[in-house]
Amino acid sequence: MENEMEIDDSHSKHRKEEKEGNGKALVVIMVGPPGSGKSTFCDLVMGASSRPWARICQDTINNGKSGTRAKCLSSAIAALKDKKSVFIDRCNLDKEQRADFVKLGSPEVDVHAVVLDLPAKLCISRSVKRTGHEGNLQGGKAAAVVNRMLQKKELPKLNEGYSRITICPSESDVEDAITTYSRLSSQDTLPSGCFGQKSSDAKIQVGIMKFLKKVDPPGSGSGSSMTPNSSPSLPVKEPKVRSEGSKPESFGGVSNEGEKEDPMAVESVADTVALTNSKDDSASLDTTDTLAFPSISTADFQFDHEKASDIIVEKVEEYISKLRNARLVLVDLTHKSKILSLVKSKAAQRNINPEKFSTFVGDITCLYSKGGMRCNVIANAANWRLKPGGGGVNAAIFSAAGPSLEVATKERANTLAPGKAAVIPVPADSPLFIREGVTHVIHVVGPNMNPQRPNCLKNNYDEGCKILREAYSSLFEGFVSILKRSEVQNHRGKRGNNASDQKMKREIVHVEERSKKNKGLKYEVGSGNTDLEQQNKSKSNVNSSKAWGSWAQALYSLAMNPEKHKSDVLETTIDVIVLNDIYPKAKRHILVLARLNGLDRLEDVCQEHLQLLKTMHQVGMNWTERLLLEDDSLIFRLGFHSVPSMRQLHLHVISQDFNSPHLKNKKHWNSFNTEFFRDAVDVIEEVEKFGKPSIQDEGLLSKELRCHRCKSAHPNIPRLKSHINNCKAPFPATLLQNGRLVQGTTKTDADS
């Protein structure tokens, strides 16, 4: 019994020591360029670790603003005195930058370095597309900064004063390091030494000089020639860039400049970073429209590989001229794929441009997240019932996309004949859309040579080849149709840009209010991408945005980044956000914003947005119920402006009292009380019937002022307001139909 008590006392003492942190403290110096994930590393470890940590970040060290190295050093010393271990969250890419922090080591403090030595392409991609960065390093300027920093990179060495160095050249290595540090208690120590060692002479990662604009070599003294607003001059030959989790194939089989071919190199220049030549730091990466497709019928349906490869190359050659700036990528899971090898060889023999057509080894459901290749359209080798299951690509795509793809597929088709294809827009709530940026899945059914499957052709290759040609033709035609729709939206954007000066003169918002917004805009304008904005990005979106003035971007920024405006947002879902209008035109005036990038205005709406419109309307109706519980005397109308003054499709939910100091002029009134205001129920009905809503002319905004109830005319806004405060006439019959008005249950017949 006495021994048991001694053991218990020993355990209790150990737990007490661990809780109080009596072991050695750690100074972990993070090393890596912007976008390598240093801050994320620190946050994940601190969130999971029982050891007390302090993160010292130079971007926020000065009360949330950037500070100096000296300030970081003093904060680190204070944290160590407080018995905390410390993360030094700076780039620390050369020995001089790290030296002062290494000196924090002592008999009571071990100094570690964690080097996030990820591919340059990945770091630049993350830096360019991120938003809300603590140091405001995002957008176009981020690429130049990362490029410049990597040229000066010095890997840390143990003789600088470290007890341990961990070098992470891949994301899986980073995850392992996070796990290692997360599990450290206050009493634990890690083995000394250098782990994951790479050549310390590597000043710049292989490939960075090849996919960024030409720069002077390290040590030339001239630095980078790439400016924040410059776009890269892409090389003709295939660059060598590490790509985790994939092994692309190359038609030529010859590496650049006599180097050994990198088995992880991207296949063509189309897979390198493509920065837009933007002046607003909203540069994007590799927005080339891309169809990734599996080999149809050669797996489960056992079609002969030689014949199938001939047809693939034949059809690619036929359609490649129709793709313009788009590309095709044949995908297979295995490096030993016979079909990829055959197609690669035959495509090279026919001199097919590898920038327009290439092969890629990887999982078609996660080409971006695991392979680094952006593909906005993927093909599914479907079964005739268009159902999940059956194994192979079909099962994988339905599983990755979630149940919403099956629902969306049923809305378009229930069955599909061999040789035919069906284009299905991927719903915005699908993981395939959110994680991978896939906007469309094209289901295609090929011929079957497997006697264990339905409709077997029993080795009839005359019929089989005919069906397979039809299948690829249908698939590529489906992709071309998506490209054409993108071009139409692109044309709209250019047209709006050419007429932007005239449009600004006609916009609904009064000059006085516009001036207020320019001086003190409540919402951040022109921010970059979130994971949601990264999904559905295309050239049409970029061009379309140019038609909007900077002040008109506020709603777009809010819809894409609601987490940055929590105090303004009333409700957030994956599809919409809800907020009060900052300049309400009535007692209650709220906005329901779509969160789909590229859906800027009512004119952009088409059949594929029908469900989103219904969601917006339902959310608006839910809010009218809440508002009516607060004031049952209110009457609401829900609708869209034909030509909005602010970018990002938004539904107005507005009470019909129009009692607001912000309602100041004729345009304000007529934007809500003429045909210019499109009732949501009418818009939804038109999209269901015709695929598009009708847009009313802005000339309606200059009509004479008339009461929305009795239709009497008034010379000015003050006289109109005085009248409507007392008008008890019933609303016009047209507004009383089809649920255009929403009101409480206590209204009298006269009021309604």
Token representation of residue 99: 């030296």
Residues 43 and 138 in one domain: yes
Per DSSP, helices labelled H in 63-151 are 69-81, 95-102, 120-129, 140-151
Residues 294 and 186 in one domain: no
Residues 449 and 521 in one domain: yes
In terms of Cα–Cα distance, which of 680, 694, 690, 677 is closest to 739? 680
Among candidate residues 492, 525, 558, the one where a domain is terminated: 525
Which of the four pLDDT bands, split at 50, 70 and 90, describes residue 311? very high
**pLDDT score, position 165:** 93
Q: CA-CA distances (angstroms) from residue 723 to 210, 657, 709, 710, 717?
A: 70, 11, 10, 10, 10
Three-state secondary structure call for residue 194: strand
In terms of Cα–Cα distance, which of 678, 630, 626, 614 is closest to 652? 678
Q: How far apart are CA 289 and CA 373, in angstroms?
A: 11
Q: CA-CA distances (angstroms) from residue 301 to 365, 396, 448, 453?
A: 20, 16, 5, 7
> Is the pLDDT score of 178 beyond 50?
yes
Residue 737 lies in a domain: yes
> Is the pLDDT score of 731 beyond 90?
yes
Among candidate residues 176, 197, 218, the one where a domain is terminated: 197
Beta bridge partners of 456: 448
Count of the separate structural domains present in the chain = 3
Give the neighbor-by-neighbor strand order of the sheet with 164-168.
Answer: 53-57, 85-89, 25-31, 109-116, 164-168, 193-195
Q: How far apart are CA 130 and CA 137, in angstroms?
A: 9
Residue 541 lies in a domain: no
Residues 6+ apart with CB under 8 A from 384: 415, 416, 417, 418, 445, 454, 455
> Is the pLDDT score of 404 beyond 60?
yes
**pLDDT score, position 657:** 96
Which of the four pLDDT bands, split at 50, 70 and 90, describes residue 541? very low
Whole-angstrom distance between the N-terminal and C-terminal Cα of the chain? 85
Question: How, if at all, do strands 705-706 and 713-714 pair?
Answer: antiparallel
**pLDDT score, position 21:** 40
**pLDDT score, position 282:** 32
In terms of Cα–Cα distance, which of 226, 214, 45 is closest to 140? 226
Percent of the chain whose predicted confidence (pLDDT) is above 90: 43
Bigger pLDDT: 153 vs 221: 153
119-128, 132-141, 324-333, 378-387, range with the lowest pLDDT? 132-141
CATH code of 56's domain:
3.40.50.300
Beta bridge partners of 56: 88
Per-residue pLDDT averaged across 49-57, rounded? 92
In terms of Cα–Cα distance, which of 311, 314, 344 is closest to 330? 344
Residues 552 and 441 in one domain: no
Residues 511 and 630 in one domain: no
Q: Is 406 exposed, middle or buried (0-12, 13-18, 19+ CB in 10 A)?
A: middle
Residue 538 lies in a domain: no
Token representation of residue 111: 């100094």
**pLDDT score, position 546:** 39
Q: Is the dihedral of CA 498, 499, 501, 504 positive or negative?
A: negative
Q: Look-up: residue for tokens 């695929």?
A: 691
In terms of Cα–Cα distance, which of 226, 291, 253 is closest to 441? 291
In terms of Cα–Cα distance, which of 660, 500, 483 is closest to 582? 660
Residue 750 lies in a domain: no
Residues 317 and 459 in one domain: yes
Q: How far apart are CA 504 and CA 499, in angstroms?
A: 9
> Is the pLDDT score of 280 beyond 90?
no
SS3 percent helix, strand, coil of the chain, rounded to 5, is 40, 15, 45
| CB distance 146 to 135 below 8 Å | no
Which of the four pLDDT bands, split at 50, 70 and 90, describes residue 489? low
Residue 21 lies in a domain: yes
**DSSP state at residue 30:** E
Q: Look-up: residue for tokens 């390093």?
A: 137
Among candidate residues 138, 169, 197, the one where a domain is terminated: 197
In terms of Cα–Cα distance, which of 295, 615, 317 is closest to 468? 295
In this predicted model, what pLDDT tens digit does every residue of 150-164 receive, in sequence order? 777 888 999 999 999
Bigger pLDDT: 269 vs 221: 221
The residues that are catalytic are: 650
CATH code of 635's domain:
3.30.428.10
> Is the pLDDT score of 69 beyond 50?
yes
Residues 165 and 41 in one domain: yes
Query: DSSP string covering 401-460, please?
Result: H-HHHHHHHHHH-S---TT-EEEEEPPTT-HHHHHH---EEEEE---B--TTSTTB-TT-
Mean pLDDT of the chain, nearest integer: 77
Q: Look-up: residue for tokens 């994951």?
A: 196
Residues 562 and 615 in one domain: yes
In this predicted model, what pLDDT tens digit does every residue of 612-648 receive, in sequence order? 999 999 999 999 999 999 999 999 999 999 999 999 9
In terms of Cα–Cα distance, which of 85, 82, 83 is closest to 29? 85
> Is the pLDDT score of 566 beyond 90?
no
Residues 69 and 164 in one domain: yes
Residue 749 lies in a domain: no
Residues 250 and 289 in one domain: yes
> Is the pLDDT score of 385 beyond 70?
yes
Q: Is 394 exposed, middle or buried (0-12, 13-18, 19+ CB in 10 A)?
A: buried
Per-range mean pLDDT, top range of 282-296, 664-678, 694-708: 664-678
Q: How far apart are CA 621 and CA 618, in angstroms?
A: 5
Query: DSSP string covering 289-342, please?
Result: -EEEEEPTTSSTT---HHHHHHHHHHHHHHHGGG-TT-EEEEEES-TT-HHHHH
Beta strands in 545-611 (DSSP E): 569-572, 576-580, 589-594
Residues 593 and 630 in one domain: yes
> Is the pLDDT score of 268 beyond 50?
no
Q: Which domain holds residue 737?
A: 547-743
Which of the four pLDDT bands, split at 50, 70 and 90, describes residue 131? low
Q: Is 590 exposed, middle or buried (0-12, 13-18, 19+ CB in 10 A)?
A: buried
| CB distance 268 to 354 below 8 Å | yes
Residues 192 and 116 in one domain: yes
Which of the four pLDDT bands, split at 50, 70 and 90, describes residue 491? low
Token representation of residue 613: 């419109």
**pLDDT score, position 137:** 58
**pLDDT score, position 15:** 45
Per-residue pLDDT averaged across 480-485, rounded? 84
